[in-house]
């Protein structure tokens, strides 16, 4: 099958978009592809439109199907936009607008920061359209590790833990232990509790876990 034969059907509203992030598509990506030996892919070769950046990231993914490739690309985007996504963790749009940075050294940051945060969030959150080849929709792998919190869809809960731990200087292992006790659905509560124990000793953290 040629790459042309494996092109998926593209909805009209998505005709110029990257399947991974919705940016303008200047390239394409096919999976399985020749750069890695894939023996157990459960779907035929699929070719999707892609921006050059996502295509390059996708080629490095050593996984078994195109949806796992998508998750690896999201992880790449999360790392690329780490600082921009942190803006949304530390500010609201209103707080940034009223931050008092006008005219000072941070005026450029004030003007562009929220825009960059929204660009980063939109690329990370975008979910590609259903993959249809020759009129037949390819069934998606039902196993998904994605985790959505505070308006951002993380490739996995581990990515969310790493992001919040880095931005708020939290003990990532302590945060994981809290989540194991109270559940991922209480992620906000776990972060708040973890922030109470920044700089705490291991013994203090152990007692805090027992108190939950």
Half-sphere exposure (Cβ direction) of 190: Cα atoms closer than 13 Å: 24
- State how far Cα 88 lies from the chain centre: 14
Q: Which residues contact 115 (CB under 8 A, 6 or more apart)?
A: none
Q: What is the pTM of this model?
A: 0.76
d(CA 188, CA 116): 24
Which tokens is 49 given?
A: 């439109």
Q: Are 173 and 167 in contact (CB under 8 A)?
A: no
Q: Which element (helix H / strand E) includes 154?
A: strand 152-154
Q: pLDDT tens digit string along 92-128? A: 778 777 765 555 545 555 667 888 999 999 999 999 9
Residue whose structure tokens are 């993380």: 154
pLDDT digits (tens, 9 = 90+) for 44-62: 999 999 999 999 999 999 8
Q: What are phi and psi of 154, to 5 degrees?
A: -85, 145
Using CA atoms, how far apart are residues 128 and 106, in angstroms rounded to an integer? 36
pLDDT of residue 75 exceeding 60: yes
């Amino acid at each position: 099958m040629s790459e042309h034969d494996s092109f998926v059907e593209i909805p009209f509203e998505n005709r110029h978009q990257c399947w991974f992030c919705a940016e303008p598509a200047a390239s394409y990506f096919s999976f399985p592809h020749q750069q890695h030996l894939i023996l157990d892919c459960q779907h035929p070769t699929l070719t999707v439109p892609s921006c050059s950046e996502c295509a390059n990231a996708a080629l490095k993914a050593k996984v078994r199907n195109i949806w796992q490739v998508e998750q690896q690309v999201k992880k790449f985007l999360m790392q690329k936009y780490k600082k921009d996504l942190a803006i949304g963790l530390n500010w609201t749009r209103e707080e940034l607008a009223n931050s008092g940075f006008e005219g000072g050294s941070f005026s450029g940051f004030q003007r562009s920061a929220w825009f960059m945060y929204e660009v980063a969030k939109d690329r990370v959150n975008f979910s590609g359209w259903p993959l249809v080849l020759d009129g037949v929709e390819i069934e998606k792998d039902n196993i998904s590790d994605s985790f959505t919190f505070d308006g951002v869809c993380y490739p996995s809960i581990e990515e969310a833990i790493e992001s919040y731990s880095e931005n708020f200087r939290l003990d990532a292992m302590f945060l994981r232990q809290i989540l194991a006790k109270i559940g991922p659905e209480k992620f906000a509560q776990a972060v708040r509790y973890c922030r109470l124990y920044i700089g705490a000793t291991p013994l203090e953290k152990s007692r805090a876990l027992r108190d939950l």
